[in-house]
Amino acid sequence: MKLTQTKRLENLTERYGNGDLSRRHFLGLTAAAAAAAGVQMPWIRRAVAAATEVRFDGWGGVVQEAIDKLAFQPYTAKSGIKVVQGTFGDENEIITKMKTSKEGDYQIIHSSGVNYYIKYVQAGWNSEINEANIPNMANVLTAMIEPFRKITPKLSAVPYDYGTTGIAYNTTVISPEEAKEKGANLLSDPKYSGKVGGYADMTTRVWYAALATGQDPNKITDMDAVWAKVRETRDLAKKFWSSGAELMDLLTKGEIVVTDAWSGRVAALQQQGQPIGYLDPDGSYAWMEDMLVLKGSPMAECEELINFMLDPATSIAVAEGQNYPPSLDPTKVKLTDKIAALPAFDPTGQMKALTFADPVYWAENEDAWTKQWDRISKGA
Amino acid sequence: MTAATGWSINDRRLAWALAAPTVILIILLMIVPIVVMAAYTFFTFVTAGVEEATFTLANWQEFLADSYYHGFLFKTVRVGLVTAIICALVGYFPAYYIWATDFRHKWLLLLLLIVPFWISFTIRTFSWIHILGEQGLINATLLQLGLITEPLRLLYTEAAVIMGLVHFLLPYMILNVYVSLEGIDRSLILAARSMGCTSAQAFREVTLPLSLPGLAAGLLLCFVLAAGSYVTPQLLGGPRDALFGNLIYDTIMGQLNWPLGATLSIVLFLLLGFVAVAYSRYMGLSQIMKGMGA
């Protein structure tokens, strides 16, 4: 197993503390490590220096702020390894950047679950995580790990959180009763023409159109009806948003009164006291996010960081900060009341109440449907 | 030139040596990327993010056969033209004023023109959201005054896109026209006046014709920049207000279809290049250089 400098020194300290190592040996080994670092050839020093940084790319906004404050900063304070961060509004952005960069430039991605996992695997960018280096994986929900393992038995990603894309509505305009009664059809209600929003994303649009036409989003039989419904929403829409920040801006400024929305972002608005309601209609779109380690990354350091992030104390703090439930199994780890109250939280740990996209079905249709959605979104 | 090299001031080798760094940069940073992109148009798309270096004409066939792309190309040309014309109509008079004024600190007026460039283009574009939005300055004022009962839909429209583009491009137009006016020999206007022309006639017969090259250069610059824009329609436009640049973005970033995205990019490049070449043929590009260097 490859060990990081931090881990090595921690092990030495622990062995010395346990009395497994004499003081003389401990000082000797520590001095040797220091001397080795000092007399290395320049290229070795550069290599070591590179491993003192880990690159992370995520969704930005309140989600990344929470991860940075509650996981990265404590991790850097503990290990000395800096987490260099980037953001994206759409995960395809990062895929595009990776195509034009060299292996190792991008290392850990806060990725959108198995749908995207397939894309990385198809492009040959997946790594192989040594799960023995992430002991906290034992607390992660099996129901979340298994879909990844079906694609690659040796994992390149570790599930980290989950949520839903439900329907957010302005409670000063739409009552909870009306929202519940209309469900997915609220997005195509002519009554709210010009005040409807939606995520500018093919999967979300097709998913909600399938629900509105009474179809199973993972087994659509009448695609024409789905596209017709997508057009209906488009014609009523004021704006299709493309980032969480834009979604929050549109809702708080009253530009839109109903939209599909990410559960965590809505929870953040509700905590700010905004008059925003949230509804997960039957078959609401559930998704999970994972920490994906890309090929060419410093594996030991990435594994160490992910293990730190999965530590129950860290994971719970991040979950409360970003308003998405963690991937920790609630039957193994005691979660807080705040997490239990989050939208989409599954207390059983079985994830059976949530409807996830079937990655194979969606991957088969993704190219054609994305193209068609792009056209419809522009008036076709 | 120095005796050490033995080159005279008119030596072609000296000219090449001086031009070499620029030529190399242009080749590396402009020609090579365009050639690579042109080569990509013949690659085969496999699936999102994956393509093969197998020769195909499918991308060009798709562009040529699909009216969806043609429609957006025409729309982009239309929005580019409207923007350029508005910039010309709105921008000529400030340029004329700056040129004609006796104000001692004329440099201050020119400085004001470039002040907006000190702020990020994206932030300037975002600022329109707070002006045109439902709770923005205009709607809030009209509602307060009781002139409207419901907020007007000003944002996320084609008009908002054009307004954003005009806001961005107007200084380019004013500078081009101003430089052209500066080149006019003022004694020609005095001569016209002494021969009985009124001020308006002198303007129509002398000033305006002589400033046309600057106006044309401004029109070309505004058209090319507007037609190639992506951010403004993305931020200020609604779902139907996309321009060709947004199509390219979606194809490359959304569909991860680089071969088709490269094809659309080359199409836009050829269109704008054709306009620039046509302008150069009749007007000469030197006027634009003067305007940009003002």
Tell me if B247 and A194 make a contact (CB, 8 A cut-off).
no
Q: How far is CA B168 from the centre of its chain?
A: 9
From chain B, the residues in CB contact with A123 under 8 A are: 49-50
| Inter-residue contact A66 to A321 (CB < 8 Å) | yes
Judge whether B115 lies within some domain: yes
In this predicted complex, what is the ipTM? 0.73
Locate tokens 């690579």: which residue? Answer: B36
Residue of B nearest to A94 (CA): B253
Residues of chain B in contact with residue A238, where contact means CB-CB under 8 angstroms, are 153, 156, 238
A88, A91, A92: which to substitute to probe chain B, counting the most B Cβ within 10 Å? A92
Cβ contacts (< 8 Å) between A375 and chain B: which residues?
68
Give the count of domains, chain B: 1
Interface check A123 vs B, CB under 8 A: yes
A126 interfaces chain B, CB cutoff of 8 Å: no
CATH 3.40.190.10 in chain A, residue ranges:
5-162+289-355, 164-286+357-377
Residue of B nearest to A249 (CA): B129
Q: In this complex, do A375 and B255 lie within 8 Å of one another by their Cβ atoms?
A: no
Please check whether residue B15 lies inside any domain of the structure: no
Q: Which of A95, A254, A377 sits opposite B135 (nearest CB)?
A: A254
**Containing structural domain, residue B233:** 57-119+155-184+214-292
| Residuewise pLDDT in 10s, chain B (294 residues) | 455 567 787 888 888 899 999 999 999 999 999 999 999 999 999 988 889 999 999 999 999 999 999 999 999 999 999 999 999 999 999 999 999 998 888 889 989 888 888 888 888 888 898 899 888 899 999 999 999 998 898 998 999 999 999 999 999 999 999 999 999 999 999 999 999 999 999 999 999 999 998 999 999 999 999 999 999 998 898 878 999 999 999 999 888 999 999 999 999 999 999 998 988 887 766 665 655 555
Nearest by CB to B153, which of A90, A96, A194? A194
CATH class given for the domain over A164-286+357-377: alpha beta
Instruction: Residue B48: list chain A partners with CB under 8 A.
Output: 92, 95, 119, 366-367, 370
Q: What is the pLDDT of residue B260?
A: 97
CATH dotted code for A5-162+289-355: 3.40.190.10
* DSSP code string of chain B: --TTTT--TT-HHHHHHHHHHHHHHHIIIIIHHHHHHHHHTTSEEEETTEEE-----HHHHHHHH-HHHHHHHHHHHHHHHHHHHHHHHHHHHHHHHHHH---TTHHHHHHHHHGGGGS-HHHHHHHHHHHHSTTSHHHHHHHHTTS-SS----SSSHHHHHHHHHHHHHHHHHHHHHHHHHTS-HHHHHHHHHTT--HHHHIIIIIHHHHHHHHHHHHHHHHHHHHT--HHHHHH--TT---HHHHHHIIIIIS--HHHHHHHHHHHHHHHHHHHHHHHHHT-THHHHHHHT-
Choose, out of B36, B75, B122, B134, the residue to mutate when testing the contact with A (most A CBs < 10 Å).
B134
pTM: 0.76
Q: Which of B47, B49, B250 sits opposite A374 (nearest CB)?
A: B250
Q: Does residue B276 sit within a domain?
A: yes
pLDDT in tens, A151-199: 999 999 999 999 999 999 999 999 999 999 999 999 999 999 989 999 9
> Distance (Å) from the C-alpha of residue B250 to the closest C-alpha of chain A?
7
Locate the chain B residue with the closest alpha carbon to A235. Answer: B239
A360 touches chain B (CB under 8 A): no
The number of C-beta contacts closer than 8 angstroms across A and B is 71
Closest-approach residue (CA) in chain A for B244: A378
pLDDT of residue A352: 85
Interface of B with A (CB under 8 A): 47-50, 68, 72, 133-135, 153, 155-156, 238-240, 242, 246-247, 250-258
Query: Is residue B194 included in any domain, yes or no?
Result: no
Q: Are residues A95 and B250, on separate chains, in Cβ contact within 8 Å?
A: no
Q: Verify whether the Cβ–Cβ distance A90 to B253 is below 8 Å.
A: yes
In this complex, which of B72, B153, B255 lies closest to A370 when CB atoms are compared?
A: B255
Q: Is A334 on the interface with B (CB under 8 A)?
A: no
- Interface contact B239-A374, CB threshold 8 A: no
Give B155's contacts in chain A (Cβ within 8 Å). Answer: 255
pLDDT score recorded for residue A244: 83
pLDDT lower than 70: segments of chain A: 1-51
In-domain check, residue B171: yes
Q: For residue B13, is it within any domain?
A: no
Q: Hey, are the CB atoms on A378 and B239 less than 8 Å from each other?
A: yes
The verdict on a CB contact (< 8 Å) between A96 and B253 is yes
User: Is position B243 within any domain?
Assistant: yes
The pLDDT score that the predictor gives to residue A311 is 96
Euclidean distance between CA atoms A106 and A31, whole angstroms: 34
Contacts of A372 (CB under 8 A, 6+ apart): A227
Contact residues on chain A for B257, CB-CB shorter than 8 A: 367, 371
All residues of chain B having their beta carbon less than 8 Å from the beta carbon of residue A93 are 253
Chain B contacts of A370, Cβ < 8 Å? 48, 254-255
Nearest C-alpha in B relative to A255 = B134
Please give the pLDDT value at position A222. Answer: 97
Q: Considering the domain boundaries, does residue B7 fall inside one? A: no
Q: Which residues on B lie below 8 Å from A240 (Cβ)?
A: 239
**A24 — contact with chain B (CB < 8 Å)?**
no
> Measured between CB atoms, does A122 come within 8 Å of chain B?
yes
